Amino acid sequence: MSGDHPSAPLLEVAGLSVGFATRRGVVPAVRDVDLSLRAGECLAVVGESGSGKSVTARALLGLAGAGARVTARTLTFEGRDLRTLGGGQWRRLRGRRIGYVLQDALTSLDPLRRVGLEVAEALEVHGLARRDDLDDQVIRLLAEAGVPDPHVRFLQYPHELSGGLRQRALIASAIAAEPALLIADEPTTALDVTVQAQVLGLLEERRRRGTALLLISHDLAVVARLAGQIAVLFAGLVVERGPAAALLASPAHPYTADLLAAVPVLDGPDNPGGGPVRGLPIVRTGPAAATGCPYAPRCALADDRCRSEPPPPVSYGEDGQDGQDRMVRCFHPGRARPATASRAPAAPARVTDHAVVSVRGVTKRYRSPDGSWRTAVGDVSFDLRAGEALGLVGESGSGKSTTARIVLAEIVPDAGTVLLDGEPWSGLRERDRRPRRSRIQLVDQDPLSSFDPRFTVERVVGEAVPGRMPRRRRRERVAALLGRVGLDPALLDRVPARLSGGQRQRVAIARALAPGPEVIVCDEPVSALDVTVQAQILALLAELRREAGVALLFISHDLGVVRQVCDRVAVMKDGRLVETGAVADVFRAPRAAYTAELLAAVPRIDAGRTAGALPHAALNLEAP
C-alpha cells in the first residue's frame, strides 16, 4: 500500500536528538531518531516508560519543554523546516496542521471548562469558525468522533463523561482543525478493552481518510492493529524499525522480542493441570547501559562487543520488500528467543475444595445524586477456594471493585453475607473482625500512594509484620520478605517516591504477604505498569501462590492478564455475574454474549493478521 504514495513524506525526521539541561550537564532523552511518515500512514513508536517516546512526540510540536535542547539533521513537515520556526509560526502549526492527543483525558481536558469549549478552542485560535456557528461545528465534530447526544455532551464537564467519551472529546478537539498529522500519545491507556477497541477504530478511521497517524504506546498489542510501520524505542534510541507485520512476526532486536513475549495472550496452549495457562515469560528489566548497546544489561545475547561498542544501525531481512527496509541496532539481529519458549509449564498450585471466602447473594445499592437508587452489586455469589486464583473481570462500573471491598469487609452489603473460612465475616462488628483481618490482604493499583511519602520501605512493610519484636529482628523479617518478592534488601531505607512502578508493586506485595494471609485481593494490580514490568509482577504473583498457597481474588479489566494468572474466572456486567467457569473453558467457548464481546475487543498480535486485519498490513505480509 505504501507504494501508492509516491509523494514526498509528510514528516521527515533524521538524527533527532533531545537533551535536557540539568545541573550535571545535558542529559540525553532521545538520540539520533529517524522517522518518516506519509499521508494516510500510521507509524507506531513503542517503548517502555522513560524510553523517550513522549519526548519525541513533543519535539515534533515544539513543546519538548523548558530546558530541552532539540537538534536534528532533518526536521521537515509539509516541506517546512521545523528547526527554523519562531513562536508564532509554531502556534499556527499546532492544532492546525499537527493534532495531539494525550493520554488520560480526565487530566488532558481542562476539568473546569465545558467539553464543548475545549473542542471550540482549536477552531477559535486558528480563526476557523464564526461565533454564530461555532456551537454547530463543535456538535458536528463531537458527533464525528462518535460521541452520542453531542448537543447534550458539549455542555457537560469532563468529570460528567465516561473515560471513553472523554477520550473521544479529546480526539474531537485534536482533529477539529483537520490537521494533516495526528499524534496520539498512549490514547487508550486506562480504558477498558471494549472502549479501547472503539477509540482505536476511530483513529483508524481518520487514517483511512488520509490523516497521517503517529501512535505512541508501551503496548505492542495495541499498536499491532493500526500501525503500518513500527519503531521500537529503548533508552532514547530506535533499536528496531520496520513494517509492522514483518516486525511482529519476526522481531530482530532482543528488546522487541521481549516486548512481544510480555504481551498477555488469549490463545495458545493450555496448561493441562488447570493452572495458569503457560509458563510466564521471564522478562528482565533494569537500567540502560551507558556504553555499548543500551540493552546489553537485560539481553541474553549480550557479549563483550555489545558491552563495549554501540551497535550501528544495519538493515535487516530480505531487500526489496515493497521498498520498505527494516533497520535494527544489534550485533545479533533475529537471534533472540523469548525466554518463555524454553520454559516448561508451571506446576499447578495446590487447590483444595475448601472455600476460604464464600460470597452469598451479596447486594449493594447506592443513591445517585438525582435521588434514584443504583445497584452497584446485585445478588453476587461465588466461592474462592484455598490456594485458588479467581479472576473477577468486567468494565469500569461493573461492580468488581465494590465486590472486592465487600470481600475485604470495607463495605457492608445491603443483603447477602460473606463467610471467611466458613465463619461469619461481613456481618460482624469491626471489633470482632479485627483479630482475623490479617488473613485477608489487599494489593491495589497504586498501593504506596496511600502511605506517608516519607515512610521508608522498611517502615511500610514492617508495619504489617505482626507481633512485637525488637527493631533489628523486624528489619530482618522485612529484608526476608523483600527477598521473597525479588527486591534487593538495599532498598530498605528508600522512600516509595524513589522506586520504580514495578518495585513499588513488589513492596506492596511484600507488605500483603507479611502477616501470612490466606487470601490476597488484587485490585487491578498491574494496570498502571508497562507490559514488561506487568509480566514480571504477574510471574511473581503466580510463583507466590504456588509457594505460599495463598488464594488470589484477582480483579482486572484485562482478560489477557487474568488468563495468565487465574484458574477460574467470573465475568461481571452492571453489578451482576454473567458467567463463571474455568479459565480455559470460558476463554475457549464463552457462554455469555457479553464475555464473547469482551474477548473480541482484546487487542492481540496475530502473526497471520488476515480476517478483519488492515488491508495494507496483510499486503505487507504476503509480499515475501
Residue 79 or 369: the one with the smaller Cβ distance to another protein is 369
* Phi, psi angles (nearest 5°) of residue 84: -100, 0
How many Å apart are CA 542 and CA 346, to the nearest integer? 9
Query: Per CB under 8 A, does 235 bind another protein?
Result: no
Query: Per CB under 8 A, does 564 bind another protein?
Result: no
Query: Per CB under 8 A, does 109 bind another protein?
Result: yes
How many Å apart are CA 377 and CA 365, to the nearest integer? 7
Q: Identify which range of 103-111, 323-331, 373-381, 447-455 contacts another protein by CB under 8 A.
A: 103-111
| Residues 443 and 522: beta-carbon distance below 8 Å | yes
Task: Rule CB under 8 A: choose which of 11, 16, 42, 93 binds another protein.
Answer: 93
Residue 93 or 481: the one with the smaller Cβ distance to another protein is 93
Q: Identify which range of 152-160, 314-322, 459-467, 574-582 contacts another protein by CB under 8 A.
A: 152-160
How many Å apart are CA 108 and CA 102, to the nearest integer? 6
How many Å apart are CA 173 and CA 100, to the nearest integer? 9
Q: Identify which range of 122-130, 383-391, 429-437, 530-538 contacts another protein by CB under 8 A.
A: 122-130
Q: Identify which range of 157-165, 272-280, 357-365, 454-462 contacts another protein by CB under 8 A.
A: 157-165
Residues whose CB is less than 8 angstroms from the CB of residue 593 and which lie 6 or more positions away in sequence, other chains included? none
Tell the smallest beta-carbon distance from residue 80 to another protein (Å).
Answer: 15
Tell the smallest beta-carbon distance from residue 169 to another protein (Å).
Answer: 11
Q: Identify which range of 110-118, 321-329, 515-523, 563-571 contacts another protein by CB under 8 A.
A: 110-118
Question: Which alpha helices (DSSP H) does 186-325 contain, by range?
Answer: 193-208, 220-224, 244-249, 254-262, 304-308
**Of residues 245, 242, 248, the one with CA closest to residue 260:** 248
Q: Is 439 helix (H, G, I), strand (E, B) or coil?
A: helix
How many Å apart are CA 485 and CA 547, to the nearest integer? 12
Please provide the distance, in angstroms rounded to a whole number, between the alpha carbons at the two ends of the chain. Answer: 14
Cell for 492? 530498605
Q: Identify which range of 120-128, 272-280, 355-363, 562-570 contacts another protein by CB under 8 A.
A: 120-128
| Residues 340 and 279: beta-carbon distance below 8 Å | yes
Task: Rule CB under 8 A: choose which of 35, 102, 216, 377 binds another protein.
Answer: 102
Tell the smallest beta-carbon distance from residue 190 to another protein (Å).
Answer: 13
Task: Rule CB under 8 A: choose which of 125, 143, 592, 618 binds another protein.
Answer: 125
What distance lies between CA 319 and its chain's CA centroid? 34
| Residues 271 and 604: beta-carbon distance below 8 Å | no
Q: Identify which range of 31-39, 111-119, 285-293, 421-429 contacts another protein by CB under 8 A.
A: 111-119
Torsion angle of C-alpha atoms 70, 75, 81, 87, degrees rounded to 10: -40
207-226: which residues touch another protein (CB under 8 A)?
none
Q: Is 4 helix (H, G, I), strand (E, B) or coil?
A: helix
Residue 136 or 160: the one with the smaller Cβ distance to another protein is 160
Q: How many residues sit in the footprint of another protein (CB under 8 A)?
A: 34
How many Å apart are CA 519 and CA 438, to the nearest integer? 9
Q: Is 590 helix (H, G, I), strand (E, B) or coil?
A: coil
Tell the smallest beta-carbon distance from residue 126 to another protein (Å).
Answer: 6
How many Å apart are CA 556 and CA 187, to the nearest integer? 19
Tell the smallest beta-carbon distance from residue 495 to another protein (Å).
Answer: 22
How many Å apart are CA 143 and CA 149, to the nearest integer? 8
User: Which helix (H) or strand (E) covers residue 417, if one does?
Assistant: strand 415-420
Task: Rule CB under 8 A: choose which of 18, 41, 72, 100 binds another protein.
Answer: 100
Query: Per CB under 8 A, does 91 bind another protein?
Result: yes
Tell the smallest beta-carbon distance from residue 99 to another protein (Å).
Answer: 8
DSSP 97: T
Residue 104 or 322: the one with the smaller Cβ distance to another protein is 104
Query: Per CB under 8 A, does 21 bind another protein?
Result: no
Query: Per CB under 8 A, does 170 bind another protein?
Result: yes
Query: Per CB under 8 A, does 122 bind another protein?
Result: yes
Task: Rule CB under 8 A: choose which of 38, 53, 94, 557 binds another protein.
Answer: 94
Residue 62 or 243: the one with the smaller Cβ distance to another protein is 62
Tell the smallest beta-carbon distance from residue 183 to another protein (Å).
Answer: 8
Tell the smallest beta-carbon distance from residue 95 to another protein (Å).
Answer: 4
DSSP 293: -
Query: Per CB under 8 A, does 187 bind another protein?
Result: no
* Total residues found in the chain within this entry: 624
Task: Rule CB under 8 A: choose which of 5, 73, 83, 92 binds another protein.
Answer: 92
Task: Rule CB under 8 A: choose which of 25, 86, 369, 435 binds another protein.
Answer: 369
Query: Per CB under 8 A, does 85 bind another protein?
Result: no
Query: Per CB under 8 A, does 428 bind another protein?
Result: no
Query: Per CB under 8 A, does 206 bind another protein?
Result: no
**Of residues 323, 284, 251, the one with CA closest to residue 38:** 323
CA distances from 592 to 239, 268, 297, 578, 595 (A): 43, 22, 46, 6, 5
Tell the smallest beta-carbon distance from residue 393 to another protein (Å).
Answer: 29
| Residues 364 and 402: beta-carbon distance below 8 Å | yes
Question: Which alpha helices (DSSP H) does 281-394 contain, by range?
Answer: 304-308
Query: Per CB under 8 A, does 180 bind another protein?
Result: no
Query: Per CB under 8 A, does 96 bind another protein?
Result: yes
Tell the smallest beta-carbon distance from residue 140 to another protein (Å).
Answer: 18
* Phi, psi angles (nearest 5°) of residue 99: -95, 150
- Name the site residues for another protein (rule: CB under 8 A): 58, 61, 63, 91-96, 98-100, 102, 104, 107-113, 118, 121-122, 125-126, 157, 159-160, 170, 173-174, 177, 369
